[in-house]
Structure 1
Amino acid sequence: MSTGQLTERGAASPGRPAPGKPGVRRAPRLGSRRMRRAGAFYVFTGPWLLGFLILTAYPLGYALWLSFTNSDGLSSHPRFVGLDNYREVFTDPDTLDSLARTGLFTAITVPLTITAGLFLAVLLNQPIRARGLFRTLLYLPAVVPPVGAALTFKLIFDRDSGSANGLLDMFGVNGVAWLADPYARWVLITLTLWAAGNVMIISLAGLQDIPRELHEAARVDGASQWQSFTRITLPLLSPVLFFQVVTGIIAALQTFAPLLISLDPTPQGVSAVPRSNNLIMINVFTQYFANSRYGYASALLWVLFVFIIAITLVVFRLSKGAVFYSVDPEQEKTRSRTIGGS
C-alpha cells in the first residue's frame, strides 16, 4: 500500500476528525464556552448586583437628592433649595467643631490602635507557652458587637455603680464622672484601643509571612533585634500596615456606635452627649432624628463621604516610597496583560 493511500485512509478514519476546509470559519454556537462563562458570571453576581442597586445605589442617589431640599422627613413635596445646605455645612460653627473633633479623634486612635496591635502581634509571635490561649483572649474583644462593648464600658465607668469608681473607692478616691467632660473623650479612646485585636491578628498574619531566613541572615551579620525589626520586619510588613491605616481612618471618621457610652439615660437623648464626644456622626444623628432636618443631614453625610475619599487619596499619595511590595503593582499589571495576551 502506498504512502498516499495510507494518508487518505487515516484522514477518513472515524477516530480522527476530518480536516476543515481552509478559509471556512465555523459559526459560534449558543452553548460555547464564552457564553457559558458569561451566563455563570451573571447568575452568581446577579444577587449582589440587585442588592447593590436596591440597598446602596438607590439610597445614595436619594440622599443626594435630599441634600438639595429642605426635607423634614414628613412632607411629600420638599422644596428645592440648591446649595443652601452645603453652604450651611461650611459656615455652621457646631458642624465645623464636630468635624475638627472627628479629625482629632481619628489622628489619635488610628496610630495608637495600629501601634498597640503591632506590639501585641510581635509579642505573640514569639515561642511562648499558651501562645494560642493568649491570642484568643486578646482577639475576643474584637468580635464583641460595638453596641455591646459600648454598653459594657458604660456600666464600667458609671459614676454611681461602675466598677472603675468602685476600684478608686478602695484607695480613698472620690468617684469620677467618667462619662462627662473632660474624661469622656479618653474613655472613648480606651474603648477603641480595647478592640485592637483585629489589628493584632492581621499584623500577626503578616509577621508569619516574613521568611525566617532573612532574620537569621541579619543575625549572622551582627544586626541587633531593633535593627532587624526596623530594616526587615517593618518594610516587609508595610503593605499590611498601609491597609490598616486606610481602613482605620475610614472606620474612625464614621464612628458612631461606641458613642453610646456618652448617651445620658434621660429624655434629653443625644443632646446630652459631652462636647468632646460630639463627633460628626452624632451631629448627623441629631439633625435627622432630633431636628428633623433630613436635607441638611444628607448634605452632612455627603460632605463626610467626599472628605473620606479625599483623605484616602492623600494617604495613597503619601504611601509611595513608604510601602514596599514583594511585586510592584505596576509590574504585576503589565505581566498579567502580557501573559493573558490582552
Structure 2
Amino acid sequence: MARKWTLYPKRTFYAFVGPWAIGFVLLTAAPMVYGFLVSLTNFDGSSPRWKWVGLRNYVELFSDGDAWAALLRTLAFTAIVVPLSVAGSLGLAVLINGRLRAVGLWRTIFFLPSVVPVVAMAIMWKLVFNRDSGVLNAITGLVGIPAISWLNDPVAIYALVILMLWGVGGGMVIMLAALQGVPAELEEAAIVDGAGKWTVFRHVTVPMVSPVLLFQVVTGVIGALQILVQPLLLTPASGIAGVGAVPESNRLYMVQVYQEFFLSNRFGYGSAMLWVFFLIILALTMVLMRSSRSWVHSEVDAEAENEGATR
C-alpha cells in the first residue's frame, strides 16, 4: 500500500530554512547595512576618531572624475568581454557537441583553464606578457613584429581581455548541457523542410538555449563589472600592493575602490562607491532581465500561448 503524504509541522520548515536565513542575515544583510552606515561617516579604518558626515561622500563621488572615468572603462571592458566570452563558450560547445574524435580529451583541455586559481592564472599570464622574456613576444618576434609592452598602456587592456577569455571553458560546459537538451526532432524537422545548418542553428538551436544564454550574460556582466585581482596582478610592479602602478586602461572601478580603501584609508568614501556600484549592477541586471522578454524562448510561455490559442 502506498504511503500517504503527511503534513510536516512548521518547525520542520524552519529547521531547513533556518541555516540559510541565519547565514543571509549575518553574512549578507548585516554587512550591507554596516557598509551603508560606514558610507555616511569619514571612517578611515583604524582611528576611533570619526564623525557622521551624512551624504557628503555621495556628493563627492558624483563629482569625482576619476571614479566616473573608472566606471566608464569598466562598462566598456564588460561590453567587450561578455559578448566574446558568451560567443566563445557557445562556439566551443557546438564544436564539442559535434562528432569529434577524442571528444573527452578536448572537453578536458577546454575546461582545464577554468579550474586554475585566479591568482595562479594572472601570474602565469603576466609571465607570458612580459616584454623581455615573455612567450607572446617571442612568438610574434618570429614574424618580425617588434616587442610589445603588453602590461603597459595603451595595450594593457588587451592583455586583460585575453586573460579573461582564457577561462571560457567553464561556460562551455554549461552551454554544452543546454545544447544536449535541444530536442533532435526539431532540428531534423527543420532540415527536412530545407533549412541549412546555419539556419537551423540560428532559428532552432539558439532560441532553445536562449534561457542559458541569458544566464551566461547576466552572470558574465556581474562578474566582469567586479573584477579586481586580475588587473592588480597584471601590473608591471610585483605584488598586489602595486595598485598604484596599474595602467590607466586597466584602472577599473573596483581597482579605484581598492585604492580608496587600502591606499587612501577612506573607508567611508570607498563604502559609498560600493553602494553606488551595487545599485548600478542591480539596474543593469534588471534591464537585462526585462529585455529578455523579447529574445529568450521560454517553454512555459509557449505552452501558455498554445493553451490560450486552443481556447
Q: 1:93: how far off?
A: 0.6
- Any idea what the Cα deviations from partners look like across 1:283-342, whole Å, max 9, x if unmatched? 00000000000000000000100000001111111111211111129959xxxxxxxxxx
Q: Percent same amino acid among aligned pairs? A: 47
194-203 or 169-178: bigger deviation: 169-178
1:108 alignment partner, one of 55, 75, 80: 80
Task: Give distance in 2, aligned partners of 1:127 and 1:185.
Answer: 36
Aligned partner letter, 2:214: F
Q: Is the 8 A contact 1:151 1:260 kept in 2?
A: no
Sort the Cα spacing of 1:322 and 1:168 in 2 relative to 1 into closer, same or farther, 3 A.
closer
1:119 alignment partner, one of 86, 91, 99: 91
Q: 1:41: how far off?
A: 2.8
Sort the Cα spacing of 1:219 and 1:171 in 2 relative to 1 into closer, same or farther, 3 A.
closer
1:250 alignment partner, one of 212, 217, 222: 222
2:254 alignment partner, one of 276, 281, 298: 281
Task: Give distance in 1, aligned partners of 2:192 and 2:16.
Answer: 53
- Extract structure 1 runs of 4+ deviating beyond 4 A: 329-332
Instruction: Compare CA radii of gyration and give the structure with the larger one.
Output: 1
Which residue number corresponds to residue 283 of structure 2?
310
| Structural mapping, 1:1-342, within 5 Å | 33-35=7-9, 38-265=10-237, 269-328=242-301
- Any idea what the Cα deviations from partners look like across 1:213-259, whole Å, max 9, x if unmatched? 11111111111111111110111111110111111111111011211
Task: Give distance in 1, aligned partners of 2:231 and 2:126.
Answer: 10
Q: Is the 8 A contact 1:153 1:261 kept in 2?
A: no
Q: Is the 8 A contact 2:232 2:243 kept in 1?
A: no
Number of residues paired by the alignment?
299
Task: Give distance in 2, aligned partners of 1:150 and 1:110.
Answer: 19
Using the size of structure 1 for normalisation, the TM-score is 0.83
Q: Which runs of 5+ in 2 are unaligned?
A: 1-5, 306-311
Aligned partner letter, 2:285: T
Task: Give distance in 1, aligned partners of 2:299 and 2:170.
Answer: 24
Q: Which runs of 5+ in 1 are unaligned?
A: 1-31, 333-342
Aligned partner letter, 1:163: V
SS at match of 1:40: helix
SS at match of 2:25: helix
Task: Give distance in 1, aligned partners of 2:183 and 2:238.
Answer: 56
